[in-house]
Structure 1
């Protein structure tokens, strides 16, 4: 598998998640909505479930041409503006909560996983395995937003980098591994 291909044709995604994508930023909003509609995602209801592959097909079209750079930005905007429960008050809790949120917004079949492989608060680094069909840059944007939002107050910089020593969705694998530092 690679990015943009659902692991299971039965997988559904909640409309609210698609709407977050459509409304992530003003720039290109009309074009994103047109692309969604072209792929059968019209009159979206935040509480209804939709075919994941249709959404991934829209993602793929968006990733082509001038829109490729927006996938990272959209990932950042979606999670940068997301509401978190009050108990999510640290970077460690926030990183572990991504998988919970992912499973709340996807259903039926093999949807994938966000797996925290390492979290080291002392060395200020983490490793996250993202086994899902979403574009690599979108996941990197999600992770970057979480790290920036929940990093310790004394952290000056953050970095989220695709681990090029591992297989990735960019070359046909089912997952990407990200190295995070703060």
Structure 2
């Protein structure tokens, strides 16, 4: 999927997810709400639904003005606000549950996916086939990994260097996760 382009105008994102922008922007909630409002998302509330394209337009503005570190910070906040399945027992289950959470927070048409594949002990990959920026996805994956890491481990999330990336015009991004 192309970054910042919804696959369908019918796709919506819930208010819980939108509020992660308000929580993740370092310059304050009021300014975050102004950016969202400038794209037609006013007063986001849990349980409300908004056109995904408007949400992606706000992301595009944030990416253009504040850069990749801010997108990463927003991704880190997604599990704090968005709906997630209850109680994955392992790192592998938690990384696989990102796709379930994605589907809980989006509706109305083709949204893409997050596909987890175990590669070995304490290693896997997540293929992100969605319209969100790569740095946002990296933050989301890192947040999930940090919450579900085994005691004494330090998760790392890096782009697979030899696989397609949306940063270089690809349709997907693939992240290697180690812990």
Separation of aligned partners in 1, 2:72 and 2:32? 15
Deviation at 1:28, TM superposition (A): 3.1
2:76 maps to 1:76: yes
2:162 maps to 1:159: no
Mark the CA change 1:84 to 1:107 in structure 2 (over 3 Å): closer, same or farther: closer
2:24 maps to 1:24: yes
1:130 match:
128
2:172 maps to 1:175: yes
2:58 maps to 1:63: no
Is the Cα–Cα contact under 8 Å of residues 119 and 125 in structure 2 kept in the other structure? yes
1:11 match:
11
> What are structure 1's unaligned runs of at least 5 residues?
none
CA-atom RMSD in angstroms: 2.0
Separation of aligned partners in 1, 2:150 and 2:45? 37
Mark the CA change 1:86 to 1:36 in structure 2 (over 3 Å): closer, same or farther: closer
Deviation at 1:119, TM superposition (A): 4.6
Separation of aligned partners in 1, 2:135 and 2:26? 19
TM-score, structure 2 normalization: 0.90
1:140 match:
138
Separation of aligned partners in 1, 2:54 and 2:83? 26
> What are structure 2's unaligned runs of at least 5 residues?
none
Is the Cα–Cα contact under 8 Å of residues 20 and 81 in structure 2 kept in the other structure? no
Deviation at 1:37, TM superposition (A): 0.4
106-115 or 84-93: which moved more?
84-93
Separation of aligned partners in 2, 1:165 and 1:65? 29
Deviation at 1:92, TM superposition (A): 1.3
Separation of aligned partners in 1, 2:44 and 2:77? 20
Is the Cα–Cα contact under 8 Å of residues 119 and 126 in structure 1 kept in the other structure? yes
Mark the CA change 1:30 to 1:68 in structure 2 (over 3 Å): closer, same or farther: farther
